[in-house]
Chains A and B, each alone.
Chain A
Amino acid sequence: MENGVNNIADPLASVAVLPDGPDGPDEPAKLAEPVIHLDGLSVQFGKRPILKELRGELRGRAIGLLGPNGAGKTTLIHTLLGFHPPSSGTAHIFGRDIRNGAKQIRTQIGYMPERDSFIANMSCVHFVRLMAELSGLPSEAALERAHEALFYVGLGEARYRQLGTYSLGMKQLAKLAQAIVHGPRLIFLDEPTNGLDPPARQRMIELVRQIRDSGKAHILLSSHLLRDVEECCEEILIIKDGRIAVYCNLEEERRANRKFLELETRGDREAFVEAIGTLGCEYALTSERRLKLILQDDVDIRNLYQLAGEHKVQIRRLNFKRDSLEDIFLKAMEDGNGGVGHAASLPDRGKQ
């Protein structure tokens, strides 16, 4: 693992085990049990392979599932829900095998499907109550939780309206309400911001973050919108052509990139860069006037300006450079071999 990004050189290689999530080290039991453990999971539709030998362990509070259209994101979610049988391999959710424990697994899962999914001629509160009852809640508790869930997602005032009269944004919120009404430990959100206008999208993202930060449920968010994933998730799994192209811990990535600098200079910089080297910083000359470097823990930006002053070099620009999710995603997509060979890498490393 390099700077938080796991380079998967082998399709069978395991996704890295993550350090503590927001739960912190006070939850050792959770570290022992991954949320999702992919164990060579393959899925075929007829003779067409959709998912190919997926392996890895996911432990984060919010896991982003990324990939281009047709990569297999939704199929992975459906397989984890037991909708499609694995053609080989298996997966475990909270330690239970999806092959023979699907029903028990589904007691702990909430699912928000991508497409419009409703039961006709029902008020929203009736619909969410029915879904809660199907999850095993007694009738009275289901009604109470339905009201609570609808208020929680912001549909409290509209809860007695027929679902058919809802706008797209309201329908998305109703789908979220039915996914959380029974208080699941793991929530699958399939493209939750599809078709939402910016305020509605922001509202949805905020809700996802609230659920994540509550620490009461894990979230697997599938999306092709990088921004959604970046705003909500601490881990990402990029799937391409049915394989894991990249696994990345965004939190680690952000921490690692905090001291990654890009400088634009004027003047004779040879002595300047040599001096940077003597400070112990890795650096790379990217063009005649630009260089990138990784700041060591004991080196401050002030030291750089002092060095520049001593060597009569002007620092015209100084940027904290981080590898954005977009960079990671695009690099994963550039791999022409199904994401097997090279996962997203960080910006060019300095050389001494």
Chain B
Amino acid sequence: MAVHEHAYKPYAGPLTPVWSRFLIIPRHAYRDVFASKVFTGFFALCFVCPLVMAILIYLHHNLTAMAIFQINLQNLAPINGVFFQFFVGFQTGLAFLLTVLMGPPLISRDLANNALPLYLCRPFSRAEYVIGKMSVLLILISAITWVPGELLFLFQSYLEGAGWAARNLWMAGAIFVGSWTWILLLALLSVTISAWVKWRLAASAALFGLFIISNAIGFTVNGVLQTRWGGLFNLTIIMKTIEDSLFRGPNSAGLPSWMVLPTPAAWIMLALFLALCLFLLTRKVRAYEVVR
């Protein structure tokens, strides 16, 4: 089918590995996304916090610098679980904004343009399509959460010594797991909303609204019934509970002790929520909707 031949010719060359094909979707998506200067600028800003944290870690181990600035960082910002929990919390906040910017059109555009049959008539399954779409977010959010988080941990370990790293290895695990719970929640939530809400603004609003409304419902149930279990409907509380348990930290949401959720309950609720998202996705991500 060479341009000058004008004849139909089958393709006889090599094929890419099947497992890697879902990555085609993020590769093409980033080309469009990073064409926007606003988005590129915002994405660059997401690395300011890791940079500041890296400087703090460096200053912790530079007595001359601390003497110059006349500050005692050991007391002001100790490098411990809370330090890394703050990092993960801050970065996942940015990840949420990133998701609001990028997430809503991911699937809705394809649905609006009837593009799903074009994907699914190829050796490309529905699962690969969803994973591909989620990867657009998974890769970018990873780049601003657990990847710099682990690099900070390694930096601290390098400066502090192997003993510190061995004693605090759980922090590395907490950074990884804590980030990934947020990443999965945001990515799945975002593509699910994108699959069900075609209008971009409405989808962005729905993403915000889900956290706000679940917050309101959770606190209302707690207040009215004087129970802690309302927190099961509150996504923020669920995630904070999981984060606190991972980072062995205090009650970071600042809840009264009687309102604090048991950690297993938070994990189960998160799993149920993710399963619900997957169920809704399987209902919507089809080549054609069947009218029964």
Contact = CB atoms under 8 A, between A and B. Distances in A.
Contacts of B124: 106, 134
Interface of A is mostly: mixed
A113 B125 contact: no
A145 B9 CA distance: 10
A180 interface: yes
B150 interface: no
A211 interface: yes
Contact of A134 (B3, B113, B122, B286): B122
Given A103-B123, A119-B109, A111 B115 contact: no
B118 A178 contact: yes
Contacts of B28: 126, 130
B109 A120 contact: yes
Contact of A81 (B10, B15, B21, B121): B121
Interface residues of A, number: 51
Contact of A113 (B3, B12, B118): B118
Interface string B90-105: 0000000000000001
B16 interface: yes
A184 B8 CA distance: 10
A278 interface: no
A83 interface: yes
5 contacts: A113-B114, A116-B113, A136-B18, A145-B11, A152-B8
Contact of B290 (A45, A121, A217): A45
Interface of B: 1-3, 6-16, 18, 21, 24, 28, 32, 105, 109-110, 112-115, 117-125, 286-288, 290-292
Contacts of B113: 116-120
A78 interface: yes
Nearest to B2: A148
Given A185-B10, A214-B7, A135 B1 contact: no
Contacts of B14: 138
Given A131-B122, A145-B1, A119 B287 contact: no
A45 B291 contact: yes
Contact of B11 (A121, A141, A178, A210): A141
A106 B286 contact: no
* Highest count of chain A CB atoms <10 Å: which of B2, B24, B122, B287: B122
Nearest to A188: B121
A202 interface: no
Nearest to A163: B113
A134 B125 CA distance: 10
A147 interface: yes
Contacts of B11: 137, 141, 145, 182-183
A84 B289 CA distance: 10
A104 interface: yes
Nearest to B286: A83
A48 interface: yes
A109 B121 contact: yes
A277 interface: no
Contact of A138 (B2, B16, B105, B109): B16
